[in-house]
Chain A
Amino acid sequence: MPFGNTHNQLKMNYSAEQEYPDLSKHNNHMAKVLTPEMYASLRDKQTPSGFTLDDVIQTGVDNPGHPFIMTVGCVAGDEETYEVFKDLLDPIIEDRHGGYKPTDKHKTDLNPDNLQGGDDLDPNYVLSSRVRTGRSIRGFCLPPHCSRGERRGIESLSVEALGVLDGDLNGKYYALKDMTDEEQQQLIDDHFLFDKPVSPLLLASGMARDWPDGRGIWHNDNKTFLVWVNEEDHLRVISMQKGGNMKEVFNRFCTGLTKIEELFKEKGHEFMWNEHLGYVLTCPSNLGTGLRGGVHVKLPNVSKHEKFSEILKRLRLQKRGTGGVDTAAVGGVFDISNADRLGFSEVELVQMVVDGVKLLVEMEKRLEAGQSIDDLMPEQK
């Protein structure tokens, strides 16, 4: 089995104190929670596939974090990780997901009819709309821990299922290792291609092993529905299009996901899901819906307003640069998306994005006209 200290028995020769990591300079969720006592009580445990505590925390030990950004600092190697190491992961989940308790239940709602509006975001401001999530196939280890055979198994199951999609969802799979130069260039131009991870947060967890074996990109002919295979999760599913019709994007998202789930079930496979954690993914930050719904929107005036951060916070939204997480905004264009993942349903989260972005655009127009936005200030959602 690959990567990390999977030979757990050897470590039992040393005391917990001798093995306990030095977290004195660390600032991530794992370091906040992992006391020496907790380390001692969990370190002789492993999941059925052999994933150990040290495997879970390696990325957090290797990446002390940033004084301003709080990273998670741990990953799951399989579905059982969240159960076997719940003493560590429950408090992390609670801290990361706004107080979500170990006894809380998560609601899944992928019925796009439940979304109100969302088809009329002003395209003069909203340049593009996108919804993404991830899915894991039950019975297989997750990217930090899977073997080559498993990863290839995930790939072939996914390619088979996606091959059945038709109509608006008819598409094609491009395996990273067999891609021609032309195909690669086209995927880059479409902004579809993902590359071998360079972030030490990901590399330290073992997700990039055997690259590019078993990795690939599937997309429909219309280039509005995209699936990444074996990048940071088994599957990342993305629905996107230019303009502000989030309703259409979300429709396609739900339809596509539901169809894919059915196709997997027909072959005797289900997605990892339970009523407490929702959809189970590699990083605890993506539990629940794993959903990030967002837009690229022009907010040059609002973004300079002193209350911009406060407004986003009340709307339960977050801003990123248009290059994605950890990038800066360019030319007043921001990536605005939901901040939450767990404890709200898919419909609820996309509703927040739709309502919130509508309000932000209205504010932008007011400020453009030199008017005040004080009466538009939202309540905390």
Chain B
Amino acid sequence: MASSFVRVLSSKRKMGILSLVGAGSLTVGFFLNREHVNAGSNVRRIYPASAEYPDLRKHNNCMASHLTPAIYAKLCDKATPNGYTLDEAIQTGVDNPGHPFIKTVGMVAGDEESYGVFADLFNPVIKERHNGYDPCNMKHPTDLDYSKIRGGLFDEKYVLSSRVRTGRSIRGLSLPPACTRAERREVERVVIDALAGLKGDLAGKYYSLTIMTDQEQQQLIDDHFLFDKPVSPLLTCAGMARDWPDARGIWHNNEKTFLVWVNEEDHTRVISMEKGGNMKRVFERFCKGLLEVERLIKERGWEFMWNENLGYILTCPSNLGTGLRAGVHVNLPRLSKDARFSKILDHLRLQKRGTGGVDTAAVGSTFDISNLDRLGQSEVQLVQTVIDGVNYLIECEKKLEKGQDIKIPAPPISQFK
């Protein structure tokens, strides 16, 4: 039963939308033509781009560094075919000015097309974040051939655990900042349907966050598998936590070495992990699992979001390419106190984190050491980098134990110039 008021709205939508009359005019009731948007979404703008441009003077994130008033004016009236807009993409960066020492990305994609429609902003951000990688004229190599890995069995006196993670997005469905409840539920359905087809050491079970029992929840916490509703404003401001915990869940294999998060920060996060130093086996399971899941979803008519310039498409531009973070928890009591530690890591293209993950502090002298890079190098290359780098760090630690001196390795050749 629609009121006459609502019927008036419907006919206005069908009439189409008028164009902007003069900058600076504040009269109510004119509309802007948005590219790519269906006639049904009636978006009203009263102010010109210059009046809408965010105040980024106190901001320190990649979005703020590159969003000039000119780029804003060019993109602010565009929308992806799903209706995702620039304002939505940058909201997280506007709301979180950043940290003087840590440069956050400050924008997200709402769907695969965001990277194209808003390329004028995404490309310089990607270039800054990924060491000069230029999506316009570079190709990203994808390589999940684990047989190419050399070495990868770490000294377990130092390495406590090994882990590789990435993300995958289901093509055709919006990403977490923008997805509707039905889309999110569809992601869940597609993914758990495929995971149910895994066999052997990959066979496992799905635990939906909405219907988890207390015992299941406690077990997942004890296994360090459970993820919680995001509290970081970087994520909540992007809209990723809407409708929590609807369609969120955790799948893991019976051996607890292969884990998939559904609808957390990305459609899926895929994690292979083990106690100890057998990175080779962790990466092998990682690749086998990923390729098998991909085969299973393709059987059902779905595919992952991927293109030859950006590799695997994920919500945050920082995770494009491989989306891969391969790392270890490693004990480096002497090296970590050495003044050269940071530089050594830097030259090895590694980063350190506390053992609670990003933005946590190290406990004792155990560090999370992982690759810095995501885009422009393949999975095999990045894991090899971690293997070679961690071995170097262990050698340094051993040398310091014996009272010998260590050397800072040569810096890597700058890749994308």
Which A residues form the contact surface with B (CB < 8 A)? 1-12, 14-15, 18-22, 41, 45-50, 54, 58, 61-62, 80, 83-84, 86-87, 139, 147-150, 152-153, 177, 203-204, 208-211, 213
Contacts A46-B9, A46-B42, A61-B242 hold; do A3 and B88 have CB atoms under 8 A apart? Answer: yes
State the CA gap A20–B243 with chains docked (Å).
11
> Is B218 located at the chain interface by the 8 A CB criterion?
no
Contacts A7-B41, A208-B95, A210-B95 hold; do A149 and B51 have CB atoms under 8 A apart? Answer: yes
Which residue from chain B places its CB closest to the CB of A19 in the assembled complex? Answer: B182
Secondary structure of the B contact surface, majority rule: loop
- Neighbour of A147 across the interface among B12, B47, B180, B241, CB < 8 A: B47
Question: Can you sample 17 A-B contacts with CB below 8 Å?
Answer: A2-B88, A2-B91, A8-B40, A10-B83, A11-B182, A12-B40, A18-B182, A20-B181, A22-B210, A22-B243, A48-B12, A62-B242, A147-B47, A153-B47, A204-B242, A209-B95, A211-B95
The answer to whether A149 touches B52 (Cβ under 8 A) is: yes
Chain B contributes a number of interface residues (CB within 8 A of A) equal to 52
Chain A positions within 8 Å of B186 at CB level: 14, 18
State the CA gap A152–B53 with chains docked (Å).
11
State the CA gap A86–B4 with chains docked (Å).
13
Closest-CB distance, A41 to chain B (whole angstroms): 7
State the CA gap A45–B10 with chains docked (Å).
8
Chain A positions within 8 Å of B361 at CB level: none
Contacts A58-B242, A86-B3 hold; do A50 and B181 have CB atoms under 8 A apart? Answer: no
- Neighbour of A10 across the interface among B43, B180, B185, CB < 8 A: B180
Chain A positions within 8 Å of B79 at CB level: 7
Which residue from chain B places its CB closest to the CB of A44 in the assembled complex? Answer: B40
Which B residues form the contact surface with A (CB < 8 A)? 1-3, 5-6, 9, 12, 26, 28, 38, 40-48, 51-55, 58, 79, 82-85, 87-88, 91, 94-95, 174, 178, 180-183, 185-186, 210, 236-237, 239, 241-244, 246
The 6 closest A-B pairs by CB, nearest first: A7-B83, A149-B47, A14-B182, A18-B182, A149-B51, A149-B52
State the CA gap A241–B1 with chains docked (Å).
50
State the CA gap A62–B42 with chains docked (Å).
26
The answer to whether A14 touches B180 (Cβ under 8 A) is: yes
Number of residue pairs A-B, CB distance < 8 angstroms: 131
Which residue from chain B places its CB closest to the CB of A139 in the assembled complex? Answer: B28
The answer to whether B181 touches A209 (Cβ under 8 A) is: no
The answer to whether A149 touches B46 (Cβ under 8 A) is: yes
State the CA gap A48–B15 with chains docked (Å).
13
State the CA gap A22–B188 with chains docked (Å).
15
Closest-CB distance, B50 to chain A (whole angstroms): 9
Closest-CB distance, B93 to chain A (whole angstroms): 11
Chain A positions within 8 Å of B243 at CB level: 21-22, 61-62
Chain A positions within 8 Å of B91 at CB level: 2-3, 209-210
Contacts A10-B83, A22-B246 hold; do A150 and B95 have CB atoms under 8 A apart? Answer: no
- Which residue of B3, B84, B181, B186 has the most chain A CB atoms within 10 A of its CB atom? B181
Knowing that A3-B91, A11-B180, A84-B6 touch, tell me 17 more A-B residue pairs with CB under 8 angstroms.
A3-B88, A4-B239, A7-B79, A7-B178, A9-B40, A18-B181, A22-B210, A41-B1, A46-B42, A50-B43, A58-B242, A61-B242, A148-B51, A149-B45, A152-B51, A203-B236, A210-B95
Chain A positions within 8 Å of B47 at CB level: 147, 149-150, 153
Contacts A61-B242, A148-B52 hold; do A7 and B95 have CB atoms under 8 A apart? Answer: no
The answer to whether A213 touches B55 (Cβ under 8 A) is: yes
Closest-CB distance, A158 to chain B (whole angstroms): 15
The answer to whether A5 touches B180 (Cβ under 8 A) is: yes
Closest-CB distance, A20 to chain B (whole angstroms): 8
- Neighbour of A7 across the interface among B3, B84, B244, CB < 8 A: B84
Closest-CB distance, B417 to chain A (whole angstroms): 36
Which residue from chain A places its CB closest to the CB of B28 in the assembled complex? Answer: A139
Closest-CB distance, B91 to chain A (whole angstroms): 6
State the CA gap A204–B237 with chains docked (Å).
9
